[in-house]
Amino acid sequence: MSETQPFDKISLLRQAFKGLSADELQEMATATQLCTYPPEHILCHEGAYEEVFYVIADGNAAVSKNISEQDGERILRVAGKGDLVGEMALIQNVPRSATVRTITDCTVLEMNKKDFETLLGRSPSMAINIIRTTLDRIRENDLMAIRVMQSTNKVLHHLDRNKMEFIQVAAHELRTPLTVLKGYVNVLNSFPEIKTNAALVEVMDGIIKGADRMHEVVNTMLDVTRIDSETLKIRPVPVPLKRIFNQLASDFTKAATERNIEIIIEQDEDTPGINADPTLIQKALYHLIINAIKYTPDGGKVILRSRSVTLENNTQGVEFSVTDTGIGLDAEHHELVFEKFYQVGDVAIHSSGKTSFKGGGPGLGLAIVRGVARAHGGKAWVESSGHNEVNFPGSTFYLQLPIDPPKTQPPTLTK
């Protein structure tokens, strides 16, 4: 550090604090010290309590912030002549929120905290001026943060598109040979040599089950890409809700009985009929029911309900809910589980089998449920008091749909 003289402190301070009187500027100049630092000198250390603020007189300094261990430090802005650095932490009495490092030879006016506070206390106009300058800075920082977020969002959106395109291609490529394989397996299965050999029957059964499960996963991948592509057009027709519910319940009877899980249907008498895409509604309910079975231990209950509701926009709709007596879900995951490929806990410790307790899956079921809800102008969400594998608090997943889907695609909803 070296003291640099002579220098017109007054004109620099006038540039930094517009609107101060000549006396106030003079007083401030007397309380400041002019210093010059080489490049790479740290004026402010992020996280430290420090007693000095600076007005840059000549040269540049970078203001940077540690974003995270993974992302490292990011430069927020480059400060130049007339800019203030380090004053916010002094006003707020908090540690520095960023690091300020000179990037050229840099001459600065320094003022320490005590003198700064004395001046502010004596001169309301100076205090107001500094508040104004500080608010401008906050607004500028906000705008900059929004711009960074917008461009990061764009990149994320692009990456997400790439990922979905890859999934779509991969699922299509897998489906064709899988269909061929299933065809040959069915032919093989009809051979008398196999039908009469108990060991081979078991082997064939394993192959068929595995191929069916793979087919189902591939179809789920295609469903999610279709639902995610924002081009999903629904063809609404009157939906036989009772029939769909009963059909699904009976489809799952075998799996539920094997696990000693009771499926109960409670449909309110006044549950209205809706106009919707029956295939999509069936898919959404399928994923809710299979999840309820999968995340409920043997001996539990799954309750399927439907009732009439008044929606947020005061129109009539229908609400489906699937309640289980399973492991439950902590609040921090309530939104995230509806994201594609999101799974709670360690994926590696999942057991296999689509209806076995905590059986694995790609993490797409709930993304499909929410996609279907949105495509119909409805919403999907979960309520659960938390995850507990001792008391099994259970969860309730809701799907709310209007009686008639909107004519145009609805805007993105929060749920």
329 binds, among ligand ATP, Mg ion, none (CB under 5 to 8 A by kind): ligand ATP
Residue 291 amino acid letter = N
99 binds, among ligand ATP, Mg ion, none (CB under 5 to 8 A by kind): none
| Selection from 7, 93, 92, 90 nearest residue 43 by Cα | 90
Give the DSSP H/E element, type plus range, for residue 231: none
Strand order in the sheet with 379-383: 262-267, 301-310, 316-324, 396-402, 379-383
CB of 381 to Mg ion, least distance (A): 16
Distance, in Å, from the CA atom of 92 to the CA atom of 96, rounded to the nearest integer, reads: 10
* Length of the chain in terms of residues written: 415
Nearest-5° Cα angle at 221, 371 to 255: 90
- State the residue for tokens 């926009």: 313
295 binds, among ligand ATP, Mg ion, none (CB under 5 to 8 A by kind): ligand ATP
Strand partners, 207: none
Which residues from 252-311 bind ligand ATP, rule CB under 6 A? Answer: 287, 291-292, 295
Nearer to Mg ion, 58 or 383 (CB): 383
321 binds, among ligand ATP, Mg ion, none (CB under 5 to 8 A by kind): none
Task: Please give the structure tokens belonging to residue 1.
Answer: 């550090």
371 touches ligand ATP (CB under 6 A): no
291 touches Mg ion (CB under 5 A): yes
CB of 221 to Mg ion, least distance (A): 13
337 touches ligand ATP (CB under 6 A): yes
| Selection from 381, 368, 410 nearest residue 281 by Cα | 368
34 touches ligand ATP (CB under 6 A): no
CB of 285 to Mg ion, least distance (A): 12
Which residues from 322-381 bind Mg ion, rule CB under 5 A? Answer: 361, 365
Strand, coil or helix: what is 169? helix
Q: Closest-CB residue for Mg ion?
A: 365
401 binds, among ligand ATP, Mg ion, none (CB under 5 to 8 A by kind): none
Task: Please give the structure tokens belonging to residue 158.
Answer: 């692009």
Q: Contact residues for ligand ATP (CB under 6 A)?
A: 220, 287, 291-292, 295, 324, 326-327, 329, 337, 342-344, 361-367, 395
- Give the interface with Mg ion as residue ranges (CB under 5 A): 291, 361, 365
